[in-house]
Amino acid sequence: MATTSFPDASPRKNRTATAAVPARRGPTGNGSPGGAASAGACTAHVSPGDPVVTAAEPEFADQFGLTADEICGHSLLDLLRSPFPARLRQKFTALSAGRLRRFTEKVTGRDGGGRDFPAEVTAVAVREPAGGIVGVVVLLRRAEHARSGGPVLSALDAQVLEGVASGESTVQLASRLYLSRQGIEYRVGQMLRRFDAPNRPALVARAHALGMFATGQWPPRVLPEHVR
């Protein structure tokens, strides 16, 4: 399965961008455009058409391991990916053309540690008095573990599960993680019992069914909300 590449942390500066976005304010300055539904969201402004970040709250930039200055100039379509990337681009195009007022999509981002995280993005068109679209406010709400559910693994067990999911043998896992073969077998056995799985393929299938892996990524990665 093809994967979507993510940009590195090297900023492409947008010198016309403002330093930050006022916290939790909507396009008219009269509160959040998402209302109560946007509680816990962090905010950025992007340009219409090609959704390049022009300003962002520090909390928004921090989701990607960047500062508020560094994230300016990055395309939102590079920072976030969707199970339907063409649809996400089409919705931004429709929003910029005035055919949509707002939309919400499930997306996946990548944090500064290189791990994927699930989130929900809401984009709201900002209109000038004459009616033209002058920008887009983007609300990013990271999915909480309580909402997603599923087991939480230690960092080492998550690495073992990722290796099993990618087809690594006990010997390969032991060599890569600097553990004994018995140590790998013990950890796999513990997860088999915990997931009530009869074998390794069933273990991977159960983990997928519980939404523990990042969507569309190879090699498999356990989502950070499932790692303690």
Asked if 83 contacts 106 with a C-beta cutoff of 8 angstroms, the reply is yes
pLDDT of residue 185: 95
24-38, 43-57, 206-220: segment of lowest average pLDDT: 24-38
Residue 26 has pLDDT above 80, yes or no: no
* Max CA pair span of the chain: 70
- pLDDT tens for residues 152-202? 898 899 999 999 999 999 999 999 999 999 999 999 999 999 888 999 999
| Bridge partners (DSSP) listed for residue 153 | 227
- CA distance linking residue 197 with residue 191, whole number of Å: 8
Higher pLDDT, 40 or 29: 40
- CA distance linking residue 148 with residue 162, whole number of Å: 19
- CA distance linking residue 155 with residue 227, whole number of Å: 6
Q: Mapped to the 3 state alphabet, what secondary structure does the chain carry?
A: CCCCCCCCCCCCCCCCCCCCCCCCCCCCCCCCCCHHHHCCCEEEEECCCCCEEEEECHHHHHCCCCCCCCCCCCEHHHHEECCCHHHHHHHHHHHHCCCCCEEEEEEEEECCCCCEEEEEEEEEEEECCCCCEEEEEEEEEECCHHHHCCCCECHHHHHHHHHHHCCCCHHHHHHHHCCCHHHHHHHHHHHHHHCCCCCHHHHHHHHHHCCCECCCCCCCCECHHHEC
Higher pLDDT, 161 or 33: 161
Residue 33 has pLDDT above 60, yes or no: no
pLDDT band at residue 40 under the 50/70/90 scheme: low
- What domains appear along the chain, each with residue ranges and CATH number? 41-143 (3.30.450.20), 148-226 (1.10.10.10)
Half-sphere exposure of 134 (CA within 13 A, CB side): 8
Higher pLDDT, 22 or 120: 120
pLDDT of residue 144: 54
- CA distance linking residue 145 with residue 64, whole number of Å: 18
Residue % of the chain over a pLDDT of 70: 79
pLDDT of residue 22: 40
Mean pLDDT of the chain: 78
∠ CA 187-177-155, rounded to 5°: 60
Residue 71 has pLDDT above 50, yes or no: yes
